[in-house]
Amino acid sequence: MLIDTLQPKIHGIILDMDGVLWRGSQPVVDLPALFAGFQHASLNVIMATNNASRSVSQYVERLAGFGVSIPPTQVVNSALAVVHMLKQQFPSGGPVYVIGEQGLKDHLLEGGFPYAEEKVVAVVAGLDLNFSYAKLRLANDLIRTGALFVATNPDPTYPHPNGLAPGAGSIIAAISTASQTQPIIAGKPYPAMMEMALARLGCAPAEALAVGDRLDTDILGAQRLGIRTALVMSGVTTAAELAAWTPAPDLVTPTVADLIDLK
């Protein structure tokens, strides 16, 4: 197997999903054979996505729809990482103002951070398809009067059937500009979500391999933590972008299936 060429030996995989496991509604590779291959090679796998608009249970259902059954503990997203960061600051929880989709609000509520529009401990921002001037104004007021500013992921755009749509990063930039405050960001390439994934894998950074299709999130985030990297060319990265990136990823393959022996 290609990953056996890495030393020290890889024990855990941190797997991006969009552009790695599927593109839109189409799987990139034979997913049941891929996950059987991970199991056969005794590789622990955690899936980690910057996308906070879908909840962990929605990803578990999506994988089940592709014939792969996994427990929810095998998926982390930037919403879970936000909850983890907030718990460190506010161990007993507290009200938060949320600019984001229902999946983000659900994870916050479960973690002890119910939605509110006043007397909040933090403003949490992510992708919100109903973002508005009124929401921007309220977030600005709350941050300027002392609420902590936390954000899910910095992605400026995300792929859409008609091109690129504005992502969480575009909304965060608006709030940041208004409030003159930089957020603490949970998703890749920042460390919070990647550290959560590593903790669940239970292995050292050098024994983990992050597999992703984006250089400035998946690969950069892993490189900063000393995690080994595999770039797959099944998503958004072009050959020219790869050539310009230093240091190069440890491995580059057409798809995730080329890393291991499928079963």
What residue ranges bind Mg ion (CB under 5 A)?
A: 16, 18-19, 213
Given the complex with Mg ion, which of 37 and 212 has the nearer CB atom? 212
User: What is the rounded distance in angstroms from the CA atom of residue 44 to the CA atom of residue 109?
Assistant: 29
Distance from the first to the final alpha carbon of the chain: 12
Catalytic choice (4, 16, 250, 261)? 16
Shortest distance, position 192 Cβ to Mg ion, whole Å: 18
Shortest distance, position 41 Cβ to Mg ion, whole Å: 22
In the annotation, is 16 catalytic? yes
144 CB neighbour count, 10 Å cutoff: 12
In the annotation, is 155 catalytic? no
Shortest distance, position 212 Cβ to Mg ion, whole Å: 6
Shortest distance, position 157 Cβ to Mg ion, whole Å: 12
Choose among 171, 19, 149: nearest CA to 89.
149
Which residue type is seen at 132?
S
Long-range contacts of 27-33 (CB under 8 A, 24+ apart): 27/66, 28/234, 28/255, 28/256, 29/234, 29/255, 29/256, 29/257, 30/257, 30/262, 31/63, 31/66, 31/67, 31/68, 32/66, 32/67, 32/68, 33/257, 33/262, 33/263
Given the complex with Mg ion, which of 128 and 216 has the nearer CB atom? 216
- Just list the catalytic residues: 16, 18
